[in-house]
Structure 1
Amino acid sequence: MNEKLTISGAADLLATVPHLLGTQPKESFVVLTARAGALGATLRVDAPAESSPLDYAQMMTTYAANDEKATASYIIIYTDEAGEDGQFPYAAHVAALGNELATAQMPVRKVWLVTSTYWVAYGSTETNSLDTITDSNANATLTYFGSATDLDIYNPALLGNWAPRVEAPEGTEADLQAACKAWAAALDATDMPDKDTARALASAFQHKYIRDYLFRDTINTHNGSFGDVMTGKFTARPDWNRVDRAEAIAFEIMKAVPEGQRAPLLTLMGWLEWLKGHGTQADRYLKLAAEDVPAFRLAVLLRELINRGHIADVARDPDTSYKHPLI
């Protein structure tokens, strides 16, 4: 697909944010970086609670500065909070963030406020209907080409618990080789695994040693050590179509096992979302993994990595990072 989305106004730009994040932000600050007529990185952080304006602004700017080619930025505040003394909400935080981004050579072009009932240019009294975002050319185009937001990908009630548990393999070299071969075949195929294959793969993912190799082999263009691949410290561009397929297969495999055996697959999905630069979605899947198997260690460690603001090297470089097909 060679089409490229044209953003012709504020409503178009605001419409792209949920598609970029995979979810509609709530009580959040979003910074979009920009460069030479194109959008760069998308950063979402929870709206400040007790954080001082300067601390919050410096934190967000540090994250945004990972886009080393950015020359400008946009700020969007999603909240239903009311400002004090007639001011717009989080006025001091917005001012501090604007100053910090300007200092980092990413001057703010525009700031918007989006509530649950309207959107407005920050500081303006002229409100706009949310329908202008929903009905925008950008939203229509993205939806037409298959992009969707707020998909409830994991719903245990819908997946059910009628599937019997699987047994993890012993972890022999033969087990490892068979699992890696089966996973590669599933990723290279054009259809989804049948039930028996799905259960065999689910079984392989239950073994910690084999699971880690399957994670690594999903990124078939890695050029670092095993630890580097897991922590995102590799520089080759992954086959992102293969990564997208791996996430879809992981969801299918989850249908073949009951609750309590889905954590490795949810962790895989979270890890892949993090490599794409989608920290919000990644944290959601990792949290679900740690609920499926309490304190599932790999999910806990990856969440800690994300919550410290670590960004995978592959997501920092525009030449290797995941890109929405149209944006």
Structure 2
Amino acid sequence: MTEKLTITGSADLLATVPHLLGNQPKESFVVLTARANTLGATLRVDAPAEADPLDYAQTLTTYAANDEKATESYLIVYTDEVMVYGYPYAAHVAMLVTELATARMPVRQVLLVTSTYWGTYGTAERNPLDAIKDSQANATLTYFGSATDIDVYNPALLGGRALPVEAPEGTFEDLDMACATWAAVLDADGMPDTEAARALAAAFQHRHIRDFLFRDTITTHNGSFGDVLTGKLTGRPDWARVDRAEAIAFELMKVVPAGQRAPMLTLMGWLQWLKGHGSQADRYLKLAAEDVSDFRLAVLLRELINRGHIADVARDEATSYKRRLI
């Protein structure tokens, strides 16, 4: 599709956010960068709670500044925090507005969204949420197939009767076979049959082979697992292939029991992080560390994300993932 989405008001702007993120934010700050009447990056972080306003604002501004072409920004506060006086997170909002302006991305509008209404932050405005649902932008995005609340991982669909698989010994022959099978599955149509799925799920149980399968999910790499893992790629990845890898990872989890799903959950979390979706990434990695207690790769990646590190591939507009809207 080549249609261009036109945003004509606040309801339209709010309607685009769940489509951009893939889910409806809750207790979050969302910063949208923009330039020349065009939206740029979308950044979502948890609401600040007890965080120092200046530290919080500077961290978010640093993230937003990765969009080097941005000339302005929008801030949306999603919260049900109730204040006796004033507005929720007022100090954090004020500091963030100041920091973004200092970074030459002045905030054009601050909006507040609760579970019952939305309006301009700092005013008594109260608009029904149906105004967002019924907006022209939401209607257009939905019509062209965009969906919100996308979640590849659904434990209810996995079942609980699959037999365990046995990891291969890790010989060169095992490695070559696993890499060839993984490449064939990623490049094929449809999903692997049960035999192929169990063979791949078994290969993911071997740490050394797993690392190669992670690396080979991305076609634009220099061969270094460390570089690939941290998002230092040689070009724009085939993001359609990445999307397919996530879907296949879910299929692989169907053919193994709990306790053997951590490698696939880690793959899903890592791919979400490469896309710039830190919150979803952290969720999958947390599930991986629960499936296999303190699954090391998941723990290390969570530490990287929680320190605020953004994958290099997500920092560059030319290589970053673009969630297709229309």
Task: Pick the TM interval, shorter chain.
Answer: over 0.9
More divergent stretch after superposition (76-85 vs 302-311): 76-85
Query: 2:279 aligns to what?
Result: 280
Pair 1:202-2:191 in alignment: no
2:146–2:324 contact (8 Å) kept in structure 1: no
Q: Deviations over 1:198-234 (max 9, x none)?
A: 1111111111111110111010122362211101122
TM-score where L is the length of structure 1: 0.96
- Alpha-carbon shift at residue 71 of structure 1 (Å): 1.1
Query: Equivalent pairs: percent with the same residue?
Result: 78
| Secondary structure class of the residue paired with 1:128 | coil
Pair 1:109-2:108 in alignment: yes
Query: 2:28 aligns to what?
Result: 28
Judged with a 3 Å threshold, the aligned counterparts in structure 2 of structure 1 residues 15 and 50 are, in CA distance, closer, same or farther, namely same
Query: 1:68 aligns to what?
Result: 68
Query: 1:17 aligns to what?
Result: 17
Q: Distance in 1 between matches of 2:251 and 2:150?
A: 15
Q: Which amino acid in 2 is paired with 1:12?
A: D
1:83–1:90 contact (8 Å) kept in structure 2: no
| Secondary structure class of the residue paired with 1:129 | coil
Q: Distance in 2 between matches of 1:292 and 1:4?
A: 43
Q: Distance in 1 between matches of 2:18 and 2:202?
A: 35
Q: Deviations over 1:81-131 (max 9, x none)?
A: 12342x121111111100000001110010000000000011222211111
Mark the runs of 5 or more structure 1 residues left unpaired by the alignment. Answer: none
Mark the runs of 5 or more structure 2 residues left unpaired by the alignment. Answer: none
Query: 2:218 aligns to what?
Result: 219
Query: 2:46 aligns to what?
Result: 46
Q: Which amino acid in 1 is paired with 2:27?
A: E
Query: 1:169 aligns to what?
Result: 168
Matches within 5 A, 1:223-234: 223=222, 225-234=224-233
Q: Distance in 2 between matches of 1:115 and 1:152?
A: 22
Q: Distance in 2 between matches of 1:79 and 1:11?
A: 17
| Secondary structure class of the residue paired with 2:6 | coil
Q: Which amino acid in 1 is paired with 2:30?
A: V
Query: 1:237 aligns to what?
Result: 236
Matches within 5 A, 1:256-295: 256-295=255-294
2:220–2:233 contact (8 Å) kept in structure 1: no
Q: Deviations over 1:33-57 (max 9, x none)?
A: 1122221111111111211211211
- Alpha-carbon shift at residue 154 of structure 1 (Å): 2.4
2:20–2:325 contact (8 Å) kept in structure 1: no
Q: Distance in 1 between matches of 2:191 and 2:217?
A: 16
1:224–1:233 contact (8 Å) kept in structure 2: no
TM-score where L is the length of structure 2: 0.96
More divergent stretch after superposition (266-275 vs 55-64): 55-64
More divergent stretch after superposition (59-68 vs 96-105): 59-68
Question: What value does the CA root-mean-square deviation take over the aligned residues?
Answer: 1.4
- Alpha-carbon shift at residue 235 of structure 1 (Å): 4.1
1:224–1:234 contact (8 Å) kept in structure 2: no
Q: Which amino acid in 2 is paired with 1:83?
A: M
